[in-house]
Amino acid sequence: MGRFILKRIGQTLIVLFIVSVFIFLLVSFLPGDPVYAMLGGEITQETYDRWYLELGLDKPLILRYLSWISKAVTGDFGMSASQHKEVVAVLAERVPVTIYLSLLSFFISIPLGILFGIISAVNRGKLLDSVLTTFANVCCCLPQFFLSVLFLYLFSIKLHLLPSFGFVWPWEDLQKSLLQTIMPLLCLTIGGIASICRQTRSSMLEVIGQDYIRTAKSKGLAQNRIIFVHAMKNALIPVITLMGLRLGGLIGGSMFVESVFNIPGMGTLLVMAIQAQDIPLIQACVLLIAVVACVVNIITDIVYAAVDPRIKV
């Protein structure tokens, strides 16, 4: 097991290296002069020269990459021009919000998704199944931003039930925080429930057709025992992959909900950084999101190996 984890970490480091090169190169493709892009056109030649050297634009690409990555590893991404702050400080403010919402949504969507998926598979072909699958299929297709706008319209504008925007931590003001998180959380969670439900259902159906389920039936086991002991453990293994993808995707995909409900998270930050062409901030955000996705990936693989006795590590 130890060897397996080490090997996965090694592979991930290679992947992250490629990602970092890619992120770095991306910026050098930006149209226009990076100094003007950063500070605007109206600067003196003197300021220009100072920044030119500061950014290391006189050195070859590979040296610039090395100096950037060596700083990045220590958490130093430089100054954010649009925020007038250290990039790290900006991130420290924003990232926890996104992670908080993502994890909440993640832990709500998993049990519900699996539950609905199993109910749907067991009742295959009956009315309940049709209702659940139709619902899941529709929810998978609803874009998050549309869902957010729809909820905003229904619950805030029409019904005046929930505040339309903002974010406070629960320890600052519990009631306000709860009311403010309901809608964003709902928007983040519905898609997850739907996709986990679909995956669970199809992998459950696949398992139910297997020979070993027939064996279990030939032993005269009760239906519930067959489903929850013999089928579920097998069926959930592919769902683990999906869960990993969801978690990685949640953190990188929160910008829609955040921007509709005006939540100061990483999603809105990235959008802002892109609109302001704030290079260090873009680099830091994308790299951070990739790192999170990779870590989640490793965890997924380890869980996978631990759960499935067929995988020898």
Q: Which of 37, 14, 31 is nearest to 280 (CA)?
A: 37
Residue 92 found at the interface with another protein (CB under 8 A): no
Q: Does 149 bind another protein (CB under 8 A)?
A: yes
CB neighbours of 183 closer than 8 A, spacing ≥ 6? 148, 151, 152, 155, 156, 162, 261
Which position among 72, 110, 132, 289 is part of the footprint of another protein (CB under 8 A)? 289
Does residue 222 bind another protein (CB under 8 A)? yes
Applying CB under 8 A, which of residues 71, 161, 219, 306 lies at the interface with another protein?
219
Among residues 232, 243, 129, which one has the least CA distance to residue 196? 243
Which residue, 10 or 111, is less far from another protein as judged by CB? Answer: 10
Helix H or strand E segment including 80: strand 79-80
Query: Residue 271 interacts with another protein (CB under 8 A)?
Result: yes
CA atoms within 13 A on the CB side of 243: 23
Nearer to another protein, 91 or 270 (CB): 270
Residue 86: strand, helix, or coil: strand
* Other CB atoms within 10 Å distance of the CB of residue 149: 14
Contact 148, 257 (CB under 8 A): yes
Q: Hey, which residues between 20 and 59 contact another protein (CB under 8 A)?
A: 22-23, 26-27, 29-31
Does position 141 bind another protein by CB under 8 A?
yes
The reply on whether position 298 binds another protein by CB under 8 A is no
State how far Cα 22 lies from the chain centre. 20
Interaction between residue 87 and another protein (CB under 8 A): no
To the nearest whole angstrom, how small is the minimum distance from the Cβ of residue 191 to another protein? 10
Do residues 181 and 101 make contact, with C-beta atoms less than 8 angstroms apart?
yes
111, two tokens:
């049990």
299 binds another protein (CB under 8 A): no
Residues 155-194 that bind another protein (CB under 8 A): 157
Least distance to another protein, CB of residue 237, Å:
8
The answer for residues whose C-beta is within 8 angstroms of residue 281's C-beta and 6 or more apart is 77, 80, 82, 83, 87, 90, 269, 270, 273
Binding mask 110-139 for another protein (x = CB under 8 A): -----------xx-xx--------x--xx-
Nearer to another protein, 177 or 299 (CB): 299
Nearer to another protein, 177 or 213 (CB): 213
Nearer to another protein, 65 or 177 (CB): 65
Whichever of 163 and 177 has its CB closer to another protein, that residue is: 163
**Contact in structure between 192 and 142 (CB atoms under 8 Å):** no
Interface with another protein, residue 234, by CB under 8 A:
yes
156: which 2 tokens?
């805030």
The yes or no reply on residue 252 touching another protein (CB under 8 A) is: yes
Stretch that binds another protein, among 64-72, 167-175, 180-188, 255-263 (CB under 8 A): 255-263
In the complex, the smallest distance separating the C-beta of residue 208 from another protein, rounded to whole angstroms, is 5
Contact 253, 144 (CB under 8 A): yes
